[in-house]
Chain A
Amino acid sequence: MQEIIKVRGLTKSYGDNQVLKGIDFEVHKGTMLALLGPNGAGKTTTVKILSTLLSPDQGEVTIAGIDLSRHPEQIRKVIGLTGQSAAVDELLTGSENLIMMGRLYQLSKEQARQRAEELLVDFDLVDAAKRKVKDYSGGMRRRLDLAISLIASPPIIFLDEPTTGLDPRSRQTMWQMIRLLLDSGTTILLTTQYLEEADQLADQIIVIGGGKVIARGTPEQLKAKVGQDRLEIRLKSIEDFELVISILEKYSPTQDQDKLTVGISIKGDGSDLKPILDLLEYARISPAGIEIHRPTLDDVFLLLTNGEEVDE
């Protein structure tokens, strides 16, 4: 697959504070890469450099074959940016915002108007089109913001924490919009603090912390790093609890006597499940509850950063 974004050895300091300490990654055409990390990890700085807002101290960046340090003005034609704070004009209406940005992307008046209408429909903003943006809700602003970055249908989109501060429903809506974008073949670089978001949307994830890449891979690969799925069996009495520990001994279970819970590592395909349940049934034990825990990206993250917070 074609590497449409290529980043090598990217560094950036603000005074003594080295925010990026050498970042490498690439994004393949038509896929999404998520930059995952806590506040201050260097995600926004990376996006700002890639979208020509900041110049890096060192490193090479090529986007769609264009060298960032030589031709930032050409890069601006192939990218769309949705930054952290909604980049919309409060005193203009939704439709005016779209048309204005379309004109600045060098669309003709007619093209801009037509494209604005399409996007207002796609992003469920038709009713609000003629209202001033300052009267929009947070979710509507973010939708408009994303719509604006699509006005000139750029092949590459940067989304910097697009769902931060949104309620769960608006977040779901944003995810749907982003999925549609991916389906249409757009390449996306997304930054997020939400592990679930990266898990849901991204093809590849890189985890950054303290200005460095601390892990990379598909969501599945990252989850595999933290270990296997776990089966937890909660029992009704101490007798059952002790019995289960003895009959499941070969699975080397973990025990929590206070909660009467026995935990067993199982394979991701669930092939261990039936023999274990059969053993329980054979011993005539009916548990109070059975749960399967899959490792989340939260687990990945905590494991990789050892729970330490990275300074802003």
Chain B
Amino acid sequence: MNNFKTTLVDIRVMIWRSTMHIVRNTDQLLGAFFQPIMFLVLFASVFGGSIEKALPDGISYINYLMAGIVVQTVAFGSTTTAIAVSNDMSKGIMDRFRSLPMSNIAVLSGHVIADLLRNTISTIVMIVAGFAIGFRPQTDLVGWLKIAILLILFTLAFSWLASIVGVVSKSVEAVQWLTFVIIFPLTFASSAFTPTAGMGHYLRIFAENQPITQVVEAVRSLILGQDPGDYYTKAIIWCLICLVVAVPISARLFRHRTR
């Protein structure tokens, strides 16, 4: 019981630390604001005209795109977790943390949860910006709640996966290309930006069955006021699987890995 209480204190202290890092790292913070807005506006204006023709009647591209761009932002945002973890691992402070009587998962939890806060800000900024360029969701309160729950789970899942990358990578550069190689194809070979109908056979099988598409489709249906069907359940299950796998692995690697 006592153990549990100290673990909570450890995690709280580390969340505070990671949040201070985000707040005091002004460049990164500005990125969290402007990068998603830039993506949203560029995608909507560059691809909007062409892709809208492939969409069912009555659905505007901005309404279609929003789910994809939010999920993409969260997925790419997990790189920040990986970089923060990798940065810690390469510095003397990690030896200190590991020589302290503290919980294994506290340092990583700190980064993951602080990133959840940052991603929440990014997402809200994006939705507000979306309204300015014609985003009109058909969602009720329950729908928004379901969206929030799924996105939070998805963010946690991806950040924990990213923290494994952060722990095992030999350098920040390695983190950058590794996450790029994993996350870029995952988000683009999905229904995030364009319907899968136009993709080649095998690509389409991959795109329709991978987790990002489940999450995107679930969020999109809710935004458009449609029934998400089993996309929502599948998306939640994917996120939970990622969490159950990633949390213990990264905590273990964190304790045993040294550079």
Contacts and interface: CB of A to CB of B under 8 A. Distances in A.
A199 interface: no
Count class of interface residues, chain A: 20 to 34
Contact of A106 (B6, B20, B106, B258): B6
A23 interface: no
B104 to A, nearest CB: 10
**Which of B10, B24, B96 is most buried by chain A, counting CB atoms within 10 A of its CB?**
B96
B101 interface: yes
B255 to A, nearest CB: 10
B6 A92 contact: no
Given A51-B99, A53-B98, A73-B101, A106 B24 contact: no
A48 interface: yes
Interface in B75-94: 91-94
A101 B99 contact: no
A79 B98 CA distance: 12
A85 B91 contact: yes
A87 B21 contact: no
B98 A87 contact: no
B17 A87 contact: no
Interface residues of B, number: 24
Interface in A60-84: 73, 76-77, 79, 81, 83-84
A83 B92 contact: yes
A53 B20 contact: no
A111 interface: no
Contacts of A100: 13, 16-17
Nearest to A80: B99
Interface in B193-207: none
B95 interface: yes
Nearest to A107: B9
B101 A53 contact: no
A222 interface: no
B100 interface: yes
Contact of B100 (A48, A86, A104): A104
A76 B13 contact: no
A15 to B, nearest CB: 14
A102 to B, nearest CB: 10
A103 B13 contact: yes
Interface in B219-236: none
A303 interface: no
Interface in B2-43: 6, 9-10, 13, 16-17, 20-21, 24-25
B100 A101 contact: yes
Given A53-B258, A106-B6, A106-B9, A76 B101 contact: yes
Contacts of A73: 101
Contacts of B16: 100
Given A81-B95, A83-B96, A86-B92, A91 B21 contact: yes
A104 B95 contact: no
B24, B25, B99, B101: residue with the most chain A Cβ atoms closer than 10 Å: B99
A21 interface: no
Contact of A104 (B20, B91, B94, B97): B97
Given A54-B258, A103-B9, A104-B13, A84 B92 contact: yes
Contacts of A91: 20-21, 24-25
A207 interface: no
In this complex, the member of B20, B93, B258 whose beta carbon has the largest number of chain A beta carbons within 10 angstroms is B93
Nearest to B93: A87
Interface of B: 6, 9-10, 13, 16-17, 20-21, 24-25, 91-102, 106, 258
11 contacts: A81-B95, A83-B92, A84-B92, A87-B91, A87-B94, A87-B95, A100-B13, A100-B17, A101-B100, A104-B102, A106-B101
Given A52-B99, A106-B9, A132-B24, 4 more contacts: A83-B92, A96-B20, A103-B9, A106-B101
